[in-house]
Chains A and B, each alone.
Chain A
């Protein structure tokens, strides 16, 4: 097992979000970015003078804008400071947090502000993703983020009726959570008695994947302030949320060269196994109090829960059927409404640890879990099968 010790402990002490919407015509990109930065600084009761470094990222290509970090320099606070720009596709928001954590943990910087954003309405995301495919390079078929292969595999394993019902139940649960989050983009007001109707009427995208299952295209930004333990001891405006550990697994789309036609272990399970083993977590379902998961579709949400939580057989379906992922369930999943409700890609994977941290602080507002949240899990996802997991803690006692 690789060593993953930190030189010093790191906490999230400021969280800023914009509202998440498909139509932010009222703001240009720098105005939106500035809003998130200002909100994060206000949350931390800090000014830019307290920040040593900015870590900036979004999904390159998606707005068709070259070097957005340069454009934003005067508006995101990086002017006169050190700055890193990171793009790791859909995962970028989570990678920004991991990188900032490492930058502070290393001692290179005391306090870092990370910023993820996207204005998905401005570009052609599916065009950008699909264009990367060329079997000649062994970059196999890409259909944007739309696929029914997970649905097919689950149906083969558990039967059509059960899987389609569970996926739609997951979708409705997510909407019920989003309805409690006033920042969320899509809040549809779905009810469980619409389940059968939605299974019939929602437009088909690919195979059994229907429009209602799929995440949105949103505009929005998220920023977070991370600092070290010594700085936290001097007092913070809001309770610190400790970043205990993080892990990343990814897999190139040319992995057939290694695995042939065999399906390899999922990057989610690989990532979870490494993270949990390193931290002595034997039962993640028991250990964590909330999971903010990057769930681009209802089928992926359901399938990936199985992988992330290292569940066996049909355990995930049983938990879903028994409402155990509800806000008052055994492990609440995506109280914020997750990615299906709001997906400003460069911010999406940062919103996961941000929302998880708000839950630990008890600051999530309408979608706050009622019982105390001490241990939170967050995940990011992007092409191609790029997975990031972060463990957040209320107490510095592990």
Chain B
């Protein structure tokens, strides 16, 4: 049995809207990562040699041992494999694309952490774990994560 409020006559609801614009600082490391995509069409990561983990997106310090790895840049592949995915089936103005679209977690060749991004040019019915995909970069400067526009099947 559902619980239902029987009498809401004369109970006002005030509509409001909060305007809270924000920004965030990507930081020197995150910015370098985007610049490599923008200027060289390359995907890079930061590697902890001790733990043998390559972080993509890059991390200033190893999340396992805590060592600072900010200068230990390595190139990773622009191809990789879908290790997880979801299909977005609703539309909302904060979403980056019109539904339906695929959000995949892609483990790039040479990386140890998955990168979450849009997978396009594939029917949602056909996407699967283990699917090989490649990065498609944006043409002009975007200077956000969307400098990497999307992934598509190899």
Contact = CB atoms under 8 A, between A and B. Distances in A.
Contact of B66 (A24, A48, A219): A48
Interface residues of A, number: 28
Contact of A123 (B14, B20, B26, B28): B20
A26 B70 CA distance: 12
B60 A31 contact: yes
Contact of A75 (B19, B21, B63): B63
Interface in A73-118: 74-75, 79
Interface stretch (A5-13, A124-132, A269-277): A124-132
Contact of B24 (A28, A38, A136): A28
B20 A34 contact: no
Contacts of B63: 74-75, 79
A48 B24 CA distance: 28
Contacts, number: 60
Contacts of A131: 18, 20
Interface string B33-72: 0000000000000000000000000001101001000000
Interface string B7-32: 00000001000111111111111100
B55 to A, nearest CB: 10
A28 B66 contact: no
Contacts of A122: 22-25
A128 B21 CA distance: 10
A25 B27 contact: yes
A28 B25 contact: yes
A128 B22 CA distance: 11
Contact of B27 (A31, A61, A79): A31
Interface string A130-156: 010000100000000000000000000
A207 to B, nearest CB: 26
B27 A64 contact: no
A119 B24 contact: yes
Nearest to A127: B20
Interface string A212-224: 0000000100000
A30 B27 CA distance: 10
B22 A64 contact: yes
A335 to B, nearest CB: 29
B21 A121 contact: no
A63 interface: yes
Contact of A128 (B20, B30, B61, B66): B20
A29 B30 CA distance: 11
B61 A34 contact: yes
A49 to B, nearest CB: 11
A397 interface: no
Interface string A317-347: 0000000000000000000000000000000
A119 B24 CA distance: 8
B28 A63 contact: no
A22 B88 CA distance: 38
A51 B28 CA distance: 29
A320 B94 CA distance: 53
Given A123-B20, A127-B20, A131-B18, A27 B61 contact: no
Given A25-B26, A27-B25, 20 more contacts: A24-B25, A26-B25, A27-B28, A28-B25, A28-B27, A28-B29, A29-B24, A29-B25, A30-B60, A31-B27, A63-B22, A64-B20, A74-B63, A121-B25, A123-B20, A123-B22, A124-B20, A124-B22, A127-B18, A127-B19
Interface of B: 14, 18-30, 60-61, 63, 66
Interface of A: 24-31, 34, 38, 48, 61, 63-65, 74-75, 79, 119, 121-124, 127-128, 131, 136, 219
22 contacts: A26-B25, A27-B25, A27-B27, A28-B27, A28-B30, A29-B24, A31-B27, A31-B29, A34-B61, A63-B24, A64-B20, A65-B24, A74-B63, A121-B25, A122-B22, A124-B20, A124-B21, A127-B18, A127-B21, A131-B18, A131-B20, A219-B25
